[in-house]
Chain A
């Protein structure tokens, strides 16, 4: 009842069965190991502290892998007996040190992670402990583990919470947050197990690539928390290291001018709200307002027109309290899939500044992209990857294609008895809201706690107002009051609590029945546990499942229901030309399967669009990552040897002779290195800019019957070849012209400043469809045209 098997899951499990079910066999082997470990429980419980310490010490005799071995070799795993003993010990240690003995299912999850799987565990089943046991297993085998968390808060909490467990096994544990200093980071990376948010690991790698002394050790094991969110949802977001250049916001004249434009008359948006563009009237209006310029002339294209477009995008497509918040005089982005403020995220290409201008705030610096890396590239650095999440099944296909990861479904410790009521579909948003308020009011009367999941900040506030009008007291939790998050969540399960939240409460939060003191636990349980109300279907089935998962934790009772309407964004954006069911009940509810199917369809289209972005990001970034790897090799060579000077000597022998007569060889080596590295990094920045230009228009090649990806490579690869020559040339020029003294060289370095992250934005690979598609569309248009004419004549 709790999690019906998804279509995809069914398909792939059938697939594995056909292939001999090696995964299923491995899974049942792990089960057998856990069962054997369970038999030892009684014996280990009786152990005195010193006996226990002895056994731990025996197991903890590390198998440090030989130098050069990445640890993936055979020495890195336990044999069966060792694994059994390890799991039994882990349970005993967690009982004594953490006061929460690990359940069999947690041990099973740990064993599957140790085998390199992503495990699916329902909420409240204790992922943190299972993950820590898994990480311990790797670390005992002498491999450094990076536990990749969702945010700084969780990284620190989990590391500190689990520290006694690690210490009992003689392992060191550390965490990194965005405020950690380089020294703290270096120390944390030296620990056996390091907890940090994915962006911290990523930025450290990026910083290493640009710096001169790397701090991130060679990657060994990544254990990813909320794996589907990090590996699938966040994988679309490239991490960007940017150097500040002055902020370039659109002129205030243009911002004002754009504000005065009218929808449909002056500008239009496309169906899925990803693009906005001026109409001819709009362009004319802008031109008049600017004193009769020609927007599309050479002179204005790169400047005025870009400004207008960016300002228009900021005004129309980015909505306050949906996409961003304004707080403390700053624009803060909201992470779509988590509903939280995304501290480090920024919009690219002047959009951030345009939004700031729109809100009348001070314009912040604009980043120039120095280097970039996708989350996927970060994860694929690790030879061993495993993870855990509450919704792995629906991401099964993607985890396998993009990361070659298998999924293990861990059964719940106690069976889940949540009741998922059939969702209700309404014709209009107004009908839906009325029904939601009514439903909540009725549930609230019984005293059952209600958690409402809305789409965005604006909706949560709107709904709270409606509820108040209906006489229901409620608490709002959204990105605006995230400081109060812990307190609100603690009370969300209390008797009679009504909490209106965004996606923030959708993932990772653990709502205990009966409030913080759990006084009314039994009473709430008798009322049916927590009732979760979703006011919209999300863009991905996984997000719906996560929200539902807030109810019915650890065998508690619970209830969930989703309300949607045919006017929801999901339908309007992703199934715009669907025929809407028209028959409704008195209260506006649309019954029958058609409406339900339409919503499922819209959700699948939305999911497919995101997947398309993901796989495009992946396919297009693979090449530049390859290029980056070549540059990294080169950098390493330059850093470790005197290659830079030797090459400059070969290119400019006269200059070298002249300099070496006066200046120490050692100084010259370092000067040559700095010059060459500077130009290498500079050329890379330019190369990245070139690539993003190229990426923007490459889909046009589909019209010339060429494969856009092939054409992209055809243009990008020669450019990279040229880059290497260009570096040498520029370095030689600097070497010839710069003043080099005995102290070295004064490079007017561009300051490499604080990194910032950005968002990707959609560039669809082939928006035209295949040629055949177009032919059929053409035929249809001709038919429609004729029909249209026939109608006119009638």
Chain B
């Protein structure tokens, strides 16, 4: 491991890429901590403390997680890359509806470049929208849940517009950072920036646990977090390899007997998406009760007592069930056994011993459903573990606590992907000692 690091740093162009990436990350973190002009940072700090102590989950906390805490600091990069991600999802969705988008997608690089351009424009529109929303919420005090301190002391239109413009420009810059890292650095820029945002919160959260809970709990938390990370690393790399053979070419003799031709199916084929879907869905009842209820009806009481508190058994069970459901749902829409079987048939491939077409599709779907069961249970456990932990310690913190399920899953998968890319580049370049 260490020698791999050393090798990466001694390979000149790889070193350049890594340093470039680190440089971008540094600038990104800096911007995420510099407050926008016109925002009172002492007041923000006080409000944040208030929130932390109250321990109530907030609808914006997921967004806050992705922006690395920048959102609730109203910093330059408060919006992070969420507008871009939203925009790219929407552009993709529009491809289903608008034929022109579908056509562009088919036209290869030049069409793709145009789509990327549209995505960027849309991201800018979202950025303006979100910045305006957050500035309005912050000005009215809602963002921090009734914090008595005014975070934007000067409420003049000019000042508010300046903040919106600064945040929008910040998003544009972050977007560019992401693209630059993808192009000239290592790994996928966007994922890497999310990774940094999440990782950046670890020291702060850790020290707050150390201060409030003392050394013993802190040590337990650390060991626990490490155990989760190891387990996640392990399962994330687990795959079932379905052998596939191709019979399209007539070649004399095959020297290597098809050892490397297989279809890899991941145990966690769905990734982190089901967890995000699940937790978003769980916010809905809370939002509803806030908006329509007066807090007295039996439904409202039920929601407030059992669904909102993350340590309640009802919440945990519901969350778990939702994750299992979404895992199956997501896998079923992304991996269609019929389509895969058809494609394999088209390219002349098949699973040895199984006929192409229908039987292959059935076989794939059989393997898939069997592998998805442990996958979904694993995902559910990783996601609800922190909640168990909460219910044991009886302390307020929330799902977005950096050792929580979503955060660990994202960090580990981005980390693994980036490592793999570095490793592959390293292997391509490092032939020293190859020939005597």
B interface SS class: mixed
Q: Bound complex: CA of A351 vs CA of B249, how far in Å? A: 8
Q: For chain B, residues 246 to 277, give those with C-beta under 8 angstroms from any C-beta of chain A.
A: 246-252, 254-256, 258, 260-266, 269, 271
Contact B96 A717 (CB under 8 A): no
Once A8-B110, A630-B434 are accepted as A-B contacts, the answer to whether A775 and B333 lie under 8 Å apart by CB is yes
In the bound complex, residues from chain A placing their C-beta under 8 Å from that of B354 are 296
Partner of B96, one of A307, A689, A715, A779: A779
Partner of A280, one of B256, B358, B435: B358
Contact A705 B333 (CB under 8 A): no
Q: For chain A, residues 692 to 730, give those with C-beta under 8 angstroms from any C-beta of chain B.
A: 693-694, 696-697, 700-701, 703-707, 709-710, 713-715, 717, 721, 724
User: Which stretch, B53-61, B124-132, B158-166, B424-432, touches the partner chain A?
Assistant: B424-432
In the bound complex, residues from chain B placing their C-beta under 8 Å from that of A772 are 89, 92
Q: For chain B, residues 337 to 355, give those with C-beta under 8 angstroms from any C-beta of chain A.
A: 340, 343, 345-350, 352-355
Judge whether A275 is part of the interface by a CB distance below 8 angstroms.
yes
Once A301-B247, A309-B247, A309-B348 are accepted as A-B contacts, the answer to whether A604 and B111 lie under 8 Å apart by CB is yes
User: Which stretch, B99-107, B140-148, B212-220, touches the partner chain A?
Assistant: B99-107
Give the Cβ gap from A488 to chain B, nearest Cβ, in Å.
37
Contact B355 A280 (CB under 8 A): yes
Q: Bound complex: CA of A717 vs CA of B426, how far in Å? A: 11
Residue of B nearest to A643 (CB): B436
Contact A696 B428 (CB under 8 A): no
Residue of B nearest to A307 (CB): B250
Once A605-B106, A710-B424 are accepted as A-B contacts, the answer to whether A697 and B250 lie under 8 Å apart by CB is no
Partner of B261, one of A8, A283, A608, A697: A697
Q: For chain A, residues 381 to 410, give those with C-beta under 8 angstroms from any C-beta of chain B.
A: 397
Interface size class of A (residues with CB under 8 A): 35 or more
* Chain A 640-673 near chain B by CB (<8 Å), digits 1 or 0: 0000000000000000000000000000000000
In the bound complex, residues from chain B placing their C-beta under 8 Å from that of A275 are 346-348
In the bound complex, residues from chain B placing their C-beta under 8 Å from that of A296 are 350, 352-356
Contact A689 B263 (CB under 8 A): no
Partner of A277, one of B244, B264, B348: B348
In the bound complex, residues from chain A placing their C-beta under 8 Å from that of B258 are 693
Judge whether A633 is part of the interface by a CB distance below 8 angstroms.
yes
Once A296-B353, A623-B428 are accepted as A-B contacts, the answer to whether A306 and B248 lie under 8 Å apart by CB is yes
Q: Bound complex: CA of A575 vs CA of B99, how far in Å? A: 12
Contact A310 B248 (CB under 8 A): yes
Contact A773 B106 (CB under 8 A): no
In the bound complex, residues from chain B placing their C-beta under 8 Å from that of A397 are 110
Q: Bound complex: CA of A333 vs CA of B95, how far in Å? A: 40
In the bound complex, residues from chain B placing their C-beta under 8 Å from that of A588 are none
Judge whether A186 is part of the interface by a CB distance below 8 angstroms.
no
In the bound complex, residues from chain B placing their C-beta under 8 Å from that of A604 are 107-108, 110-111
Once A605-B108, A694-B260 are accepted as A-B contacts, the answer to whether A776 and B93 lie under 8 Å apart by CB is yes
Give the Cβ gap from B277 to chain A, nearest Cβ, in Å.
12
Residue of B nearest to A574 (CB): B106
Contact B255 A686 (CB under 8 A): yes
In the bound complex, residues from chain A placing their C-beta under 8 Å from that of B346 are 270, 275, 277
Give the Cβ gap from A710 to chain B, nearest Cβ, in Å.
4
Contact B96 A306 (CB under 8 A): no
Give the Cβ gap from B85 to chain A, nearest Cβ, in Å.
11
Residue of B nearest to A704 (CB): B264
In the bound complex, residues from chain A placing their C-beta under 8 Å from that of B328 are none
Q: Bound complex: CA of A306 vs CA of B340, how far in Å? A: 21
Contact B256 A693 (CB under 8 A): yes
A interface SS class: helix
* Residue of B107, B335, B346 ringed by the most chain A CB atoms within 10 A: B107
Residue of A nearest to B329 (CB): A778
Contact A713 B424 (CB under 8 A): yes
Contact A776 B96 (CB under 8 A): yes
Q: Bound complex: CA of A296 vs CA of B247, how far in Å? A: 10
Judge whether A297 is part of the interface by a CB distance below 8 angstroms.
yes
In the bound complex, residues from chain A placing their C-beta under 8 Å from that of B262 are 697, 700
Judge whether A61 is part of the interface by a CB distance below 8 angstroms.
no
* Chain A 747-787 near chain B by CB (<8 Å), digits 1 or 0: 00000000000000001000110011111101111100000
Contact B334 A689 (CB under 8 A): no
Judge whether B332 is part of the interface by a CB distance below 8 angstroms.
yes
In the bound complex, residues from chain B placing their C-beta under 8 Å from that of A164 are none
* Chain B 315-335 near chain A by CB (<8 Å), digits 1 or 0: 000000000000000101111
Judge whether A609 is part of the interface by a CB distance below 8 angstroms.
yes
Contact A774 B431 (CB under 8 A): no
Q: Bound complex: CA of A248 vs CA of B249, how far in Å? A: 11
Once A706-B264, A707-B421 are accepted as A-B contacts, the answer to whether A609 and B108 lie under 8 Å apart by CB is yes
In the bound complex, residues from chain B placing their C-beta under 8 Å from that of A780 are 96
In the bound complex, residues from chain B placing their C-beta under 8 Å from that of A277 are 345-346, 348, 356
Judge whether B420 is part of the interface by a CB distance below 8 angstroms.
yes
Q: Bound complex: CA of A634 vs CA of B431, how far in Å? A: 13
Judge whether B369 is part of the interface by a CB distance below 8 angstroms.
no
Judge whether A579 is part of the interface by a CB distance below 8 angstroms.
yes
Give the Cβ gap from A341 to chain B, nearest Cβ, in Å.
25
3 A-B pairs with the lowest CB-CB distances in the bound complex, closest first = A608-B108, A350-B250, A778-B333
Query: Can you name 14 A-B residue pairings with CB atoms under 8 Å?
Result: A248-B250, A296-B355, A296-B356, A313-B248, A349-B251, A397-B110, A693-B254, A700-B262, A700-B264, A774-B333, A775-B334, A776-B93, A778-B333, A779-B96
Apart from A697-B260, A776-B96, what are 5 other A-B pairs with CB-CB below 8 Å?
A: A270-B346, A353-B250, A601-B103, A601-B107, A626-B428
Chain B residues near A (Cβ < 8 Å): 89, 92-93, 95-96, 99, 103, 106-111, 239, 244-252, 254-256, 258, 260-266, 269, 271, 330, 332-336, 340, 343, 345-350, 352-358, 420-421, 423-424, 427-428, 431, 434-435
Chain A residues near B (Cβ < 8 Å): 7-8, 245, 248, 250, 270, 275, 277-280, 283, 296-298, 301-302, 305-307, 309-310, 313, 348-351, 353-354, 366, 368, 397, 575, 578-579, 601, 604-605, 607-609, 611-612, 623, 626, 630, 633-634, 686, 689-690, 693-694, 696-697, 700-701, 703-707, 709-710, 713-715, 717, 721, 724, 763, 767-768, 771-776, 778-782
